[in-house]
Structure 1
Protein backbone atom coordinates (compact mmCIF):
# COMPACT_ATOMS: atom_id res chain seq x y z
CA UNK A 1 0.00 0.00 0.00
CA UNK A 2 2.84 2.36 0.90
CA UNK A 3 4.45 1.55 -2.43
CA UNK A 4 1.46 2.78 -4.40
CA UNK A 5 1.09 5.82 -2.14
CA UNK A 6 4.64 6.82 -3.02
CA UNK A 7 3.97 6.07 -6.67
CA UNK A 8 0.89 8.29 -6.59
CA UNK A 9 3.03 11.08 -5.12
CA UNK A 10 5.43 10.64 -8.00
CA UNK A 11 2.51 10.75 -10.45
CA UNK A 12 1.50 14.09 -8.92
CA UNK A 13 5.11 15.23 -9.25
CA UNK A 14 5.03 14.17 -12.90
CA UNK A 15 1.96 16.37 -13.44
CA UNK A 16 3.76 19.36 -11.92
CA UNK A 17 6.78 18.61 -14.06
CA UNK A 18 4.68 18.41 -17.21
CA UNK A 19 2.97 21.74 -16.48
CA UNK A 20 6.31 23.39 -15.71
CA UNK A 21 7.83 22.00 -18.90
CA UNK A 22 4.90 23.26 -21.01
CA UNK A 23 5.20 26.72 -19.46
CA UNK A 24 8.95 26.78 -20.07
CA UNK A 25 8.42 25.91 -23.72
CA UNK A 26 5.71 28.58 -23.97
CA UNK A 27 7.80 31.37 -22.47
CA UNK A 28 10.63 30.66 -24.93
CA UNK A 29 8.39 31.66 -27.83
CA UNK A 30 6.91 34.79 -26.24
CA UNK A 31 8.35 38.24 -26.90
CA UNK A 32 7.38 40.02 -23.67
CA UNK A 33 10.57 39.41 -21.70
CA UNK A 34 11.44 43.09 -21.89
CA UNK A 35 9.19 46.00 -22.79
CA UNK A 36 10.79 49.10 -24.30
CA UNK A 37 8.95 52.43 -24.35
CA UNK A 38 10.12 54.83 -27.05
CA UNK A 39 8.11 58.01 -26.53
CA UNK A 40 10.56 60.84 -27.28
CA UNK A 41 11.77 59.31 -30.54
CA UNK A 42 10.45 60.50 -33.88
CA UNK A 43 8.56 58.22 -36.26
CA UNK A 44 8.89 55.47 -37.38
CA UNK A 45 10.64 54.32 -34.18
CA UNK A 46 8.17 55.97 -31.83
CA UNK A 47 6.07 53.42 -29.96
CA UNK A 48 6.64 50.16 -28.12
CA UNK A 49 8.97 47.20 -28.55
CA UNK A 50 8.64 43.80 -26.87
CA UNK A 51 11.94 41.94 -26.75
CA UNK A 52 12.02 38.20 -26.29
CA UNK A 53 14.69 35.53 -26.36
CA UNK A 54 13.96 34.51 -29.95
CA UNK A 55 12.18 37.50 -31.47
CA UNK A 56 11.40 41.20 -31.09
CA UNK A 57 8.02 42.75 -31.92
CA UNK A 58 7.35 46.46 -32.47
CA UNK A 59 4.05 48.26 -31.98
CA UNK A 60 3.29 51.57 -33.63
CA UNK A 61 2.50 54.39 -31.21
CA UNK A 62 -0.86 55.27 -32.77
CA UNK A 63 -1.97 51.74 -33.67
CA UNK A 64 -4.85 49.85 -32.12
CA UNK A 65 -4.03 48.14 -28.79
CA UNK A 66 -2.40 44.77 -29.27
CA UNK A 67 -1.87 45.23 -33.01
CA UNK A 68 1.53 43.90 -34.02
CA UNK A 69 3.29 46.00 -36.63
CA UNK A 70 6.37 43.82 -37.16
CA UNK A 71 8.13 40.86 -35.59
CA UNK A 72 11.71 39.88 -36.32
CA UNK A 73 13.05 36.47 -35.33
CA UNK A 74 16.62 35.90 -34.22
CA UNK A 75 19.06 33.30 -35.43
CA UNK A 76 22.40 32.10 -34.10
CA UNK A 77 24.13 34.02 -36.89
CA UNK A 78 22.78 37.38 -35.65
CA UNK A 79 25.83 39.11 -34.22
CA UNK A 80 23.88 42.05 -32.80
CA UNK A 81 22.40 39.97 -29.96
CA UNK A 82 23.98 40.78 -26.57
CA UNK A 83 25.65 38.12 -24.47
CA UNK A 84 22.83 37.89 -21.94
CA UNK A 85 20.26 36.96 -24.59
CA UNK A 86 22.58 34.43 -26.21
CA UNK A 87 23.23 32.73 -22.88
CA UNK A 88 19.53 32.82 -21.95
CA UNK A 89 18.68 31.16 -25.26
CA UNK A 90 21.03 28.29 -24.49
CA UNK A 91 19.81 28.02 -20.90
CA UNK A 92 16.17 27.79 -21.96
CA UNK A 93 16.96 25.26 -24.67
CA UNK A 94 18.96 23.17 -22.21
CA UNK A 95 16.14 23.41 -19.66
CA UNK A 96 13.60 22.13 -22.17
CA UNK A 97 15.82 19.20 -23.16
CA UNK A 98 16.69 18.29 -19.57
CA UNK A 99 13.03 18.57 -18.59
CA UNK A 100 12.04 16.25 -21.42
CA UNK A 101 14.70 13.70 -20.48
CA UNK A 102 13.62 13.89 -16.86
CA UNK A 103 10.04 13.19 -17.87
CA UNK A 104 11.11 10.09 -19.81
CA UNK A 105 13.04 8.73 -16.81
CA UNK A 106 10.13 9.48 -14.49
CA UNK A 107 7.66 7.67 -16.74
CA UNK A 108 10.01 4.68 -16.86
CA UNK A 109 10.20 4.61 -13.08
CA UNK A 110 6.44 4.88 -12.68
CA UNK A 111 5.88 2.05 -15.15
CA UNK A 112 8.23 -0.14 -13.13
CA UNK A 113 6.37 0.63 -9.90
CA UNK A 114 2.85 0.08 -11.24
CA UNK A 115 3.91 -3.04 -13.15
CA UNK A 116 5.58 -4.51 -10.05
CA UNK A 117 8.95 -4.76 -11.82
CA UNK A 118 10.87 -3.43 -8.86
CA UNK A 119 14.62 -3.52 -8.68
CA UNK A 120 15.08 -1.13 -5.78
CA UNK A 121 18.38 0.44 -6.79
CA UNK A 122 17.37 0.80 -10.44
CA UNK A 123 13.93 2.28 -9.72
CA UNK A 124 15.21 4.73 -7.11
CA UNK A 125 18.04 5.79 -9.41
CA UNK A 126 15.55 6.52 -12.18
CA UNK A 127 13.55 8.83 -9.93
CA UNK A 128 16.65 10.42 -8.42
CA UNK A 129 18.17 11.17 -11.84
CA UNK A 130 14.85 12.51 -13.11
CA UNK A 131 14.58 14.78 -10.07
CA UNK A 132 18.11 16.11 -10.49
CA UNK A 133 17.46 16.91 -14.15
CA UNK A 134 14.26 18.76 -13.24
CA UNK A 135 16.04 20.77 -10.53
CA UNK A 136 18.82 21.72 -12.96
CA UNK A 137 16.24 22.70 -15.60
CA UNK A 138 14.42 24.89 -13.08
CA UNK A 139 17.70 26.51 -12.04
CA UNK A 140 18.53 27.26 -15.69
CA UNK A 141 15.17 28.99 -16.16
CA UNK A 142 15.64 31.01 -12.99
CA UNK A 143 19.10 32.06 -14.18
CA UNK A 144 17.64 33.31 -17.47
CA UNK A 145 14.98 35.26 -15.56
CA UNK A 146 17.49 36.83 -13.17
CA UNK A 147 19.84 37.82 -16.01
CA UNK A 148 16.95 39.34 -17.95
CA UNK A 149 15.90 41.33 -14.86
CA UNK A 150 19.49 42.49 -14.34
CA UNK A 151 19.67 43.77 -17.92
CA UNK A 152 16.41 45.69 -17.51
CA UNK A 153 17.44 47.23 -14.18
CA UNK A 154 20.75 48.35 -15.72
CA UNK A 155 18.89 49.75 -18.75
CA UNK A 156 21.18 47.92 -21.12
CA UNK A 157 20.74 48.58 -24.83
CA UNK A 158 20.79 46.39 -27.92
CA UNK A 159 22.24 47.26 -31.34
CA UNK A 160 19.33 46.13 -33.51
CA UNK A 161 19.70 46.48 -37.30
CA UNK A 162 18.47 49.85 -38.68
CA UNK A 163 15.68 48.08 -40.58
CA UNK A 164 14.03 47.18 -37.24
CA UNK A 165 13.54 50.88 -36.43
CA UNK A 166 14.46 50.27 -32.79
CA UNK A 167 16.93 52.57 -31.02
CA UNK A 168 19.93 51.27 -29.10
CA UNK A 169 18.30 52.25 -25.80
CA UNK A 170 14.66 53.26 -25.13
CA UNK A 171 13.34 56.07 -22.93
CA UNK A 172 12.47 53.48 -20.32
CA UNK A 173 12.16 49.73 -20.07
CA UNK A 174 10.63 47.15 -17.76
CA UNK A 175 10.27 43.41 -17.43
CA UNK A 176 7.38 42.01 -19.44
CA UNK A 177 4.50 39.65 -18.77
CA UNK A 178 6.49 36.59 -19.85
CA UNK A 179 8.71 36.80 -16.78
CA UNK A 180 6.01 35.62 -14.28
CA UNK A 181 5.30 32.68 -16.60
CA UNK A 182 8.98 31.76 -16.62
CA UNK A 183 9.20 32.10 -12.83
CA UNK A 184 6.20 29.78 -12.41
CA UNK A 185 7.74 27.29 -14.83
CA UNK A 186 11.01 27.29 -12.89
CA UNK A 187 9.20 26.91 -9.56
CA UNK A 188 7.17 23.94 -10.81
CA UNK A 189 10.26 22.27 -12.24
CA UNK A 190 12.17 22.74 -8.99
CA UNK A 191 9.25 21.54 -6.86
CA UNK A 192 8.71 18.52 -9.06
CA UNK A 193 12.41 17.68 -8.97
CA UNK A 194 12.63 17.87 -5.18
CA UNK A 195 9.53 15.70 -4.77
CA UNK A 196 10.91 13.16 -7.22
CA UNK A 197 14.28 13.00 -5.48
CA UNK A 198 12.52 12.25 -2.18
CA UNK A 199 11.03 9.02 -3.58
CA UNK A 200 11.90 5.95 -1.54
CA UNK A 201 10.65 2.40 -1.85
CA UNK A 202 9.17 1.04 1.40
CA UNK A 203 11.80 -0.90 3.40
CA UNK A 204 9.57 -3.96 3.76
CA UNK A 205 8.99 -4.39 0.03
CA UNK A 206 10.04 -7.69 -1.51
CA UNK A 207 12.49 -6.90 -4.27
CA UNK A 208 13.35 -9.79 -6.52
CA UNK A 209 16.62 -9.73 -8.47
CA UNK A 210 16.54 -10.17 -12.21
CA UNK A 211 17.44 -13.70 -13.29
CA UNK A 212 19.49 -13.98 -16.47
CA UNK A 213 18.34 -16.53 -18.97
Structure 2
Protein backbone atom coordinates (compact mmCIF):
# COMPACT_ATOMS: atom_id res chain seq x y z
CA UNK A 1 0.00 0.00 0.00
CA UNK A 2 1.39 3.50 -0.81
CA UNK A 3 2.59 5.81 1.96
CA UNK A 4 -0.43 7.87 3.05
CA UNK A 5 0.60 9.47 6.34
CA UNK A 6 1.34 12.83 4.73
CA UNK A 7 -2.18 12.91 3.25
CA UNK A 8 -3.92 12.84 6.68
CA UNK A 9 -2.19 15.62 8.64
CA UNK A 10 -5.36 17.74 8.75
CA UNK A 11 -7.41 14.71 9.77
CA UNK A 12 -5.00 13.96 12.62
CA UNK A 13 -5.50 17.49 13.97
CA UNK A 14 -9.26 17.17 13.45
CA UNK A 15 -9.24 13.99 15.54
CA UNK A 16 -7.93 15.96 18.50
CA UNK A 17 -10.48 18.70 17.92
CA UNK A 18 -13.28 16.13 17.69
CA UNK A 19 -12.09 14.44 20.88
CA UNK A 20 -11.99 17.78 22.72
CA UNK A 21 -15.45 18.64 21.38
CA UNK A 22 -16.89 15.31 22.50
CA UNK A 23 -15.29 15.74 25.94
CA UNK A 24 -16.89 19.17 26.22
CA UNK A 25 -20.25 17.58 25.39
CA UNK A 26 -19.76 15.33 28.42
CA UNK A 27 -18.96 18.40 30.50
CA UNK A 28 -22.08 20.17 29.18
CA UNK A 29 -24.28 17.22 30.13
CA UNK A 30 -22.95 17.22 33.69
CA UNK A 31 -23.09 20.95 34.35
CA UNK A 32 -26.09 22.30 36.24
CA UNK A 33 -25.55 25.91 35.15
CA UNK A 34 -27.69 25.91 32.00
CA UNK A 35 -30.00 28.69 33.19
CA UNK A 36 -29.33 30.99 36.12
CA UNK A 37 -32.34 32.42 37.95
CA UNK A 38 -32.22 35.52 40.13
CA UNK A 39 -34.90 35.44 42.84
CA UNK A 40 -36.19 38.15 45.15
CA UNK A 41 -37.29 35.94 48.07
CA UNK A 42 -34.16 35.09 50.06
CA UNK A 43 -35.93 33.20 52.85
CA UNK A 44 -35.07 29.83 51.27
CA UNK A 45 -32.70 30.61 48.41
CA UNK A 46 -30.39 32.66 50.60
CA UNK A 47 -27.80 33.11 47.84
CA UNK A 48 -30.38 34.78 45.60
CA UNK A 49 -29.39 32.55 42.66
CA UNK A 50 -30.73 29.21 41.49
CA UNK A 51 -29.15 27.03 38.80
CA UNK A 52 -31.32 25.05 36.41
CA UNK A 53 -29.73 22.24 34.44
CA UNK A 54 -31.21 19.51 32.31
CA UNK A 55 -31.06 16.96 35.14
CA UNK A 56 -31.53 18.93 38.35
CA UNK A 57 -32.23 22.27 40.00
CA UNK A 58 -29.86 23.51 42.70
CA UNK A 59 -29.39 26.50 44.97
CA UNK A 60 -27.52 27.39 48.13
CA UNK A 61 -29.50 27.80 51.32
CA UNK A 62 -28.94 28.21 55.04
CA UNK A 63 -32.65 28.11 55.85
CA UNK A 64 -33.66 25.97 58.87
CA UNK A 65 -36.16 23.99 56.77
CA UNK A 66 -33.23 22.19 55.22
CA UNK A 67 -30.95 19.81 57.03
CA UNK A 68 -28.25 21.53 59.00
CA UNK A 69 -25.38 19.92 57.10
CA UNK A 70 -26.81 20.38 53.62
CA UNK A 71 -25.86 23.73 52.14
CA UNK A 72 -26.65 23.00 48.47
CA UNK A 73 -30.24 21.90 47.90
CA UNK A 74 -30.90 19.98 44.65
CA UNK A 75 -33.96 18.35 43.10
CA UNK A 76 -33.94 16.05 40.12
CA UNK A 77 -35.79 16.95 36.92
CA UNK A 78 -37.40 13.90 35.38
CA UNK A 79 -38.29 13.48 31.74
CA UNK A 80 -41.75 12.07 32.45
CA UNK A 81 -42.93 14.86 34.77
CA UNK A 82 -45.57 17.28 33.51
CA UNK A 83 -43.71 20.36 34.76
CA UNK A 84 -40.60 19.56 32.70
CA UNK A 85 -40.44 22.14 29.87
CA UNK A 86 -39.97 20.78 26.34
CA UNK A 87 -36.53 22.35 25.90
CA UNK A 88 -35.20 20.49 28.94
CA UNK A 89 -36.88 17.22 27.96
CA UNK A 90 -35.39 17.48 24.48
CA UNK A 91 -31.98 18.26 25.96
CA UNK A 92 -32.05 15.12 28.09
CA UNK A 93 -32.64 12.95 25.02
CA UNK A 94 -30.48 14.76 22.46
CA UNK A 95 -27.46 15.21 24.72
CA UNK A 96 -27.34 11.49 25.49
CA UNK A 97 -27.70 10.80 21.77
CA UNK A 98 -24.81 13.18 21.12
CA UNK A 99 -22.59 11.22 23.50
CA UNK A 100 -23.26 7.98 21.61
CA UNK A 101 -22.82 9.54 18.16
CA UNK A 102 -19.60 11.26 19.19
CA UNK A 103 -18.13 8.05 20.54
CA UNK A 104 -18.99 6.18 17.34
CA UNK A 105 -17.64 8.99 15.16
CA UNK A 106 -14.30 9.19 16.94
CA UNK A 107 -13.96 5.40 16.85
CA UNK A 108 -14.51 5.41 13.08
CA UNK A 109 -11.89 8.11 12.60
CA UNK A 110 -9.38 6.26 14.79
CA UNK A 111 -9.90 3.16 12.64
CA UNK A 112 -9.17 5.14 9.47
CA UNK A 113 -6.03 6.75 10.90
CA UNK A 114 -4.84 3.39 12.19
CA UNK A 115 -5.07 1.98 8.67
CA UNK A 116 -3.18 4.97 7.29
CA UNK A 117 -0.36 4.95 9.82
CA UNK A 118 0.12 1.17 9.75
CA UNK A 119 -0.79 0.50 6.13
CA UNK A 120 -3.31 -2.19 7.03
CA UNK A 121 -5.91 -1.72 4.34
CA UNK A 122 -6.75 -0.22 0.97
CA UNK A 123 -8.14 3.15 -0.06
CA UNK A 124 -11.88 2.42 -0.02
CA UNK A 125 -12.22 1.40 3.68
CA UNK A 126 -10.17 4.43 4.74
CA UNK A 127 -12.33 6.85 2.77
CA UNK A 128 -15.50 5.16 4.05
CA UNK A 129 -14.31 5.32 7.68
CA UNK A 130 -13.44 9.03 7.38
CA UNK A 131 -16.79 9.79 5.74
CA UNK A 132 -18.74 7.86 8.37
CA UNK A 133 -16.82 9.52 11.20
CA UNK A 134 -17.35 12.96 9.67
CA UNK A 135 -21.09 12.48 9.33
CA UNK A 136 -21.39 11.13 12.88
CA UNK A 137 -19.42 14.02 14.36
CA UNK A 138 -21.51 16.57 12.47
CA UNK A 139 -24.65 14.88 13.80
CA UNK A 140 -23.10 15.03 17.27
CA UNK A 141 -22.57 18.77 16.92
CA UNK A 142 -26.13 19.30 15.67
CA UNK A 143 -27.59 17.13 18.47
CA UNK A 144 -25.73 19.31 20.95
CA UNK A 145 -26.48 22.64 19.33
CA UNK A 146 -30.27 22.15 19.09
CA UNK A 147 -31.00 21.82 22.86
CA UNK A 148 -28.36 24.42 23.71
CA UNK A 149 -29.91 27.02 21.39
CA UNK A 150 -33.41 26.07 22.51
CA UNK A 151 -32.53 26.72 26.15
CA UNK A 152 -30.71 29.89 25.12
CA UNK A 153 -33.92 31.08 23.49
CA UNK A 154 -35.83 30.33 26.70
CA UNK A 155 -33.39 32.49 28.65
CA UNK A 156 -33.64 35.35 26.16
CA UNK A 157 -37.45 35.25 26.35
CA UNK A 158 -37.36 34.87 30.16
CA UNK A 159 -39.64 31.85 30.12
CA UNK A 160 -40.94 30.48 33.42
CA UNK A 161 -41.05 26.92 34.76
CA UNK A 162 -43.86 25.76 37.04
CA UNK A 163 -41.84 23.74 39.55
CA UNK A 164 -43.67 21.67 42.19
CA UNK A 165 -43.74 22.97 45.75
CA UNK A 166 -41.11 20.52 47.05
CA UNK A 167 -38.55 22.19 44.79
CA UNK A 168 -38.94 25.40 46.86
CA UNK A 169 -38.47 27.40 43.67
CA UNK A 170 -40.42 30.52 42.70
CA UNK A 171 -42.77 30.30 39.76
CA UNK A 172 -40.87 33.01 37.91
CA UNK A 173 -37.45 34.62 38.33
CA UNK A 174 -36.74 38.29 38.69
CA UNK A 175 -34.20 37.84 35.94
CA UNK A 176 -32.41 34.95 34.30
CA UNK A 177 -29.19 34.60 32.36
CA UNK A 178 -27.33 31.92 30.45
CA UNK A 179 -25.07 29.60 32.38
CA UNK A 180 -21.66 28.23 31.56
CA UNK A 181 -23.13 25.01 30.15
CA UNK A 182 -24.68 26.82 27.19
CA UNK A 183 -21.37 28.51 26.35
CA UNK A 184 -19.46 25.24 26.61
CA UNK A 185 -22.09 23.46 24.51
CA UNK A 186 -21.89 26.03 21.70
CA UNK A 187 -18.09 25.79 21.64
CA UNK A 188 -18.27 21.98 21.60
CA UNK A 189 -20.70 22.04 18.68
CA UNK A 190 -18.40 24.28 16.64
CA UNK A 191 -15.44 21.96 17.21
CA UNK A 192 -17.44 18.86 16.30
CA UNK A 193 -18.94 20.28 13.11
CA UNK A 194 -15.57 21.66 11.98
CA UNK A 195 -13.77 18.37 12.60
CA UNK A 196 -16.53 16.47 10.80
CA UNK A 197 -16.15 18.67 7.72
CA UNK A 198 -12.39 18.06 7.74
CA UNK A 199 -12.94 14.31 7.71
CA UNK A 200 -15.45 14.56 4.88
CA UNK A 201 -12.93 16.57 2.85
CA UNK A 202 -10.30 13.79 2.89
CA UNK A 203 -9.11 12.86 -0.59
CA UNK A 204 -6.41 10.43 -1.65
CA UNK A 205 -4.10 12.12 -4.21
CA UNK A 206 -4.67 10.81 -7.73
CA UNK A 207 -1.02 9.89 -8.10
CA UNK A 208 -1.46 7.35 -5.28
CA UNK A 209 -4.63 5.79 -6.64
CA UNK A 210 -4.11 2.28 -8.03
CA UNK A 211 -4.55 2.30 -11.80
CA UNK A 212 -5.45 -0.67 -14.00
CA UNK A 213 -4.58 -0.41 -17.68
CA UNK A 214 -6.55 -2.73 -20.01
CA UNK A 215 -4.78 -4.74 -22.69
CA UNK A 216 -5.94 -3.76 -26.14
CA UNK A 217 -6.14 -6.17 -29.06
CA UNK A 218 -2.97 -6.20 -31.14
CA UNK A 219 -0.67 -5.25 -28.30
CA UNK A 220 2.34 -7.40 -27.60
CA UNK A 221 3.72 -7.52 -31.16
CA UNK A 222 6.35 -4.82 -30.80
CA UNK A 223 9.45 -5.04 -28.70
CA UNK A 224 8.18 -2.41 -26.30
CA UNK A 225 4.93 -4.29 -25.73
CA UNK A 226 6.77 -7.57 -25.20
CA UNK A 227 8.90 -6.02 -22.50
CA UNK A 228 5.84 -4.51 -20.82
CA UNK A 229 3.54 -7.54 -21.06
CA UNK A 230 6.18 -10.25 -20.61
CA UNK A 231 6.88 -13.41 -22.62
CA UNK A 232 4.66 -16.48 -22.49
CA UNK A 233 6.18 -19.60 -20.94
CA UNK A 234 5.53 -22.56 -23.28
CA UNK A 235 5.54 -24.98 -20.33
CA UNK A 236 2.43 -23.35 -18.90
CA UNK A 237 0.70 -23.46 -22.27
CA UNK A 238 0.69 -27.26 -22.13
Contact kept, 8 Å, 1:45 with 1:167, in 2: the verdict is no
Residue in 1 that maps onto 2:79: 76
* TM-aligned CA deviation for residue 71 of structure 1: 1.7
SS of corresponding position for 1:169: coil
Residue in 1 that maps onto 2:159: 156
What 5-or-longer segments of structure 2 have no aligned partner? Answer: 64-69, 212-238
Q: Which has the higher contact order (CA 8 A, sep 6+)?
A: 1
Residue in 2 that maps onto 1:121: 124
How many residue pairs were aligned? 203
Q: CA RMSD in A?
A: 2.1
SS of corresponding position for 1:174: strand
In 1: Cα distance, 2:118 partner to 2:209 partner? 14
Contact kept, 8 Å, 2:79 with 2:92, in 1: the verdict is no
Residue in 2 that maps onto 1:8: 9
Residue in 2 that maps onto 1:21: 22
In 1: Cα distance, 2:127 partner to 2:209 partner? 15
Residue in 2 that maps onto 1:192: 195
* TM-aligned CA deviation for residue 82 of structure 1: 0.8
Contact kept, 8 Å, 2:61 with 2:73, in 1: the verdict is no
* TM-aligned CA deviation for residue 59 of structure 1: 2.3
* TM-aligned CA deviation for residue 52 of structure 1: 0.7
* TM-aligned CA deviation for residue 45 of structure 1: 4.4
Residue in 2 that maps onto 1:110: 113
Contact kept, 8 Å, 1:2 with 1:202, in 2: the verdict is no
* TM-aligned CA deviation for residue 2 of structure 1: 7.3
* TM-aligned CA deviation for residue 185 of structure 1: 0.6
* TM-aligned CA deviation for residue 202 of structure 1: 2.0
1:171 aligns with 2:179: no
After superposition, the C-alpha distances for 1:131-167 in whole angstroms (9 at most, x for unaligned) are 0111111112111121011111121111212111101
Contact kept, 8 Å, 1:57 with 1:69, in 2: the verdict is yes
SS of corresponding position for 1:53: coil
Inter-CA distance 48–14: structure 2 relative to 1 (3 Å threshold): same
Higher Rg: 2
In 2: Cα distance, 1:110 partner to 1:42 partner? 56
* TM-aligned CA deviation for residue 7 of structure 1: 2.3
Contact kept, 8 Å, 1:21 with 1:185, in 2: the verdict is yes
Residue in 2 that maps onto 1:49: 50
What 5-or-longer segments of structure 1 have no aligned partner? Answer: 209-213
Inter-CA distance 179–68: structure 2 relative to 1 (3 Å threshold): farther
Contact kept, 8 Å, 2:45 with 2:60, in 1: the verdict is no
TM-score, normalising length: structure 1? 0.87
